[in-house]
Amino acid sequence: MKSIKVGLLGIGTVGSGTFNVLKRNQQEIAARAGRGIEITMVADLNVERARELTNGEVEVVSDANLVINNPDIDIVIELIGGYGIAKDLVLKAIANGKHVVTANKALIATHGNEIFKAAQEKGVIVAFEAAVAGGIPIIKALREGLTANRIEWIAGIINGTTNFILSEMRDKGLDFDVVLKEAQRLGYAEADPTFDIEGVDAAHKLTIMAAIAFGIPVQFAKAHVEGITSLQATDIRYAEQLGYRIKLLGIAKRTAAGVELRVHPTLVPASRLIANVEGAMNAVLVRGDAVGETLYYGKGAGSEPTASAVIADLVDITRLATADPEHRVPHLAFQPDAMTDIQILPMSEITTSYYLRMRVTDETGVLADVTRILADSLISISAMLQKEPAEGETRTDIIMLTHQTQEKNVEAAIAKIEALATVVGAVTKIRLEELN
């Protein structure tokens, strides 16, 4: 049977990994796909480097349009990244009747609805397993493996850079800025790490998973996004003393009032498996009504781990290319006419537990004032640490863990606590999830 011809847009870290793995495992991949899959054309602005990476075995061009307009190309792999040119090229490829594989989480999270609509109208497939959690097959698990379930919630460590930083802060007691520089030196963090450390990358991935889990459109703009830049080593240490670890989690939760869609630092019980995911690894915990909790763990980035997901998509498309489009697995798991636009809840309406740390003067009545304010705001305390002042100090820390309450209650209480004459500076607030 004739091989599937693939055009590759961008041969950087993931692109070169895809080319190498596809070539190295070509016989096994063909045996699984039912026919050969070969990259025959590559577009990259650095033509000379692209020729070196492909050993001169394929046609290399600098203009991506030559790939997507080539009638011999069946599938286009988009590994350029970003929202601009990548979106235009993907839509042109779809218009030309070509299937698309992409690792571009930002593109899918922001323009996925438009892209999937165009693909449906043209009868082609847009596959994006590599856009979330690198080599972990979480998209396939949510879209196919858990299809019998009503997904209740997802909680994921889905950014390796921030997980590495938090692991180092906990292990070595170092501050954020120090560990970030080390992460950049080791290549875990980009020269401009903003998307990672501010939670944007994780929010892109969470947006995609939530759409598949709950049958809602992708709507990144409605996600709450909070990074780790203001996190202090002090709070990581106190959390440890209370039996918790702090992770940057992406959380999507179905509630009676709507869907929670949020990324932020989160206290997780140290006994949970996901709390023990260290370094640059990723993990996603999914709760389904029938299956219960399932955990997916592995490398969330890197050349060949991500290439593994790209090639899995190539194989899926190869198997399904001749199938009736009406009988393929829908892009977002639910049939397009069955998607529902459930409300994404504002943060003020979400319900969770909280870690609160406040710096107070060491005098009688401070704790009573704080607990009264919390009680008046319908917030109950589940645990507390009150540190003895260091010798010669007149101030100390009080740390409280609350039971579940609405965010707006906590914000109102914090405003009143900060207004107390005995409270110094701002109250530190970190959300807490038991994940049970």
**Binding site feature residues for NADP(+):** 9-16
Res 75: pLDDT: 98
Q: Are residues 323 and 280 in the same domain?
A: no
Q: Are residues 225 and 77 in the same domain?
A: no
CB 303 within 8 A of CB 53: no
Q: Are residues 177 and 107 in the same domain?
A: no
Q: Are residues 186 and 275 in the same domain?
A: yes
Residue 344 lies in a domain: no
CATH number at residue 182: 3.30.360.10
> How far apart, in whole angstroms, are the C-alpha atoms of residue 159 and residue 143?
21
Catalytic residues: 205
Q: What is the CA radius of gyration of the chain?
A: 24
Question: What is the longest distance spanned by two Cα atoms in the chain?
Answer: 83
Q: Are residues 212 and 278 in the same domain?
A: yes
Q: Are residues 292 and 163 in the same domain?
A: yes
Res 364: pLDDT: 87
DSSP characters for 318-361? HHHTTS-GGGSPPTTSS-GGG---PPBPPGGG-EEEEEEEEEEE
CATH number at residue 379: 3.30.70.260
Residue 343 lies in a domain: no
Nearest residue to 432 via CA among 379, 371, 360:
379
* pLDDT less than 50: residues of the chain: none
Q: Are residues 59 and 161 in the same domain?
A: no
> How far apart, in whole angstroms, are the C-alpha atoms of residue 112 and residue 43?
23
Q: Are residues 33 and 119 in the same domain?
A: yes
Contacts 24+ apart (CB under 8 A), 58-61: none
Res 1: pLDDT: 80
Q: Are residues 238 and 318 in the same domain?
A: no
Res 394: pLDDT: 86
Q: Please tell me the pTM assigned to this model.
A: 0.96
Instruction: Supply 239's token pair.
Output: 């959390």
Residue 81 lies in a domain: yes
Res 320: pLDDT: 87
Considering 240, 273, 299, which residue would you say is the last residue of a domain?
A: 299
Res 324: pLDDT: 79
Domain count, the chain: 3
Residue 200 lies in a domain: yes
Q: Are residues 8 and 39 in the same domain?
A: yes
Q: Are residues 24 and 125 in the same domain?
A: yes
**Binding site feature residues for L-homoserine:** 190
Range of the domain at 233: 138-299
Instruction: Supply 365's token pair.
Output: 């009545």
Q: Are residues 242 and 311 in the same domain?
A: no
Residue 109 lies in a domain: yes
Res 266: pLDDT: 98
Q: Which residues contact 54 (CB under 8 A, 6 or more apart)?
A: 11, 19, 39, 42, 60
Considering 338, 363, 394, which residue would you say is the last residue of a domain?
A: 338
Residue 315 lies in a domain: yes
CATH number at residue 40: 3.40.50.720
